[in-house]
Amino acid sequence: MTVTVLVPDAHGVAALSAVSGVRVVQYDPDDLPVEAVDAEVLVPGFLSADKVRLVGRLPRLRLVQLLTAGAEAWVGQLPADVMLSTCGGAHGGSTAEWAMAALLAVYRDIREFEDSRRAGRWDSHQTETLQGKRVLVVGAGDLGQQMRRKLEAFDAHVTMVANTARDGVRGVHELPELLPEHDAVVLMVPMTAATRHLVDRDFLAKLPDRAVVVNAARGPVVDTEALLVELTSGRLRAALDVTDPEPLPEGHPLWTAPGLLLTPHVAGSCTGVHERAYKVVAAQVERYVRGEKPANLVLGDY
């Protein structure tokens, strides 16, 4: 038995050609190859805009295997007999690296020193340090665990939070009592109905003065208007790789908000991203070919 897998690029062809029992076919969403009629597995491009057009044109489709850890654009969009699997495990290290860089830039005044250099000004002053900071990591999956490992290497004190409490991880219901005790909160949760505006006015109000909010999840996890109030007042600081809305439109107040480090959704966009993603994809497809369910299968809102 041979399973036909549609992939969006040459990276996918190279990675999946080594998987036994697979016929890998590169596709153009505007001009599907003749092999598409037999395709059981679809690997969409990193941007998921082709889902509506493609799914209905693949009569034998049984699995959509994503290149991203986030699946919110696909949840609820597929027929009941089509499985959805994420690329969880591929981007945790690079995303945690971005969050570390953001925290270090904020605490060590890297941007301010660069501004002084551009102005030709020798602005020697004492900064904060990540050492000893109490950091709350919301999300205890691959991203969260990668974040914990990196933070502890910098001698920060880490508290993990997940939906359900377990050994070494606190429950999300404990957030109200945890927030006042932490200097920074790093968001690494999937985008679901439950996490939309998780960080709202009440959440932010419980953080201590000068706390840092780091969003490495999805923009709508944070209530943008509530965050802007705290940034404008100067009470809180933030680092965002994702925004709501996204892309950030011209003239939006986040562009000029004080105390904000902003990057354009690039935490996972670094060298080796395709290799890391397709390594996970290949493992999920191998399981499917063996008649097993993918390990990263999305169930419900995931």
pLDDT tier at 47, thresholds 50, 70, 90:
low
- pLDDT value at 7 more than 60: yes
CATH number of 3-90+271-289: 3.40.50.720
Amino acid at 161: V
Average pLDDT over residues 253-280: 97
Domain boundary assignment for the chain: 3-90+271-289, 92-262
Burial of 64 (0-12, 13-18, 19+ CB in 10 A): buried
Classify residue 120 as left (phi > 0), alpha (psi -120 to 50) or beta.
Answer: left
pLDDT digits (tens, 9 = 90+) for 122-159: 999 999 999 999 999 999 999 999 999 999 999 999 99
Contact 140, 160 (CB under 8 A): yes
Q: What CA–CA distance (Å, rounded) separates 95 from 282?
A: 21
Collapsing DSSP states into helix, strand and coil, what is residue 275?
Answer: helix
Please state, in angstroms and rounded to a whole number, the distance separating the CA atoms of residues 284 and 87: 9
**Which CATH superfamily does the domain covering 92-262 fall into?**
NAD(P)-binding Rossmann-like Domain (3.40.50.720)
How far apart are alpha carbons 43 and 65 in whole angstroms? 5
Q: What is the pLDDT of residues 65-119, one digit of tens each?
A: 999 998 988 998 899 999 999 999 999 999 999 999 999 999 999 999 999 999 9
Tokens of 179: 């927030």
Alpha carbon 74 to its chain's center = 15
pLDDT band at 46 (very low <50, low <70, confident <90, very high): confident
Helix or strand run (H / E) with residue 274: helix 273-289
Nearest-angstrom CA–CA distance, 3 and 282:
13
How far apart are alpha carbons 70 and 87 in whole angstroms? 8
Q: How far apart are CA 282 and CA 287, in angstroms?
A: 9
For 169, list phi and psi in degrees, rounded to 5: -135, 130
Q: Residue 56 corresponds to which tokens in the numbers above?
A: 């209905």
CA gap 130, 100 in Å, rounded: 9
Between the CA of residue 218 and those of 81, 162, 173, 247, what are the distances in Å? Answer: 28, 16, 20, 12
- Reading the block at residue 149, the tokens are 């490992």
Q: What percent of the chain has pLDDT over 90?
A: 91
Q: How confident is the model at residue 216 (pLDDT cuts 50, 70, 90)?
A: very high
Q: What is the residue-wise DSSP string for 194-248?
A: TTTT-B-HHHHHTSPTT-EEEE-S-GGGB-HHHHHHHHHHTS-EEEESS-SSSSP
Separation of alpha carbons 283 and 278, rounded Å? 8
Would 3-90+271-289 and 92-262 be classified into the same CATH topology? yes
Q: 93-103 pLDDT, tens per residue?
A: 999 999 999 99
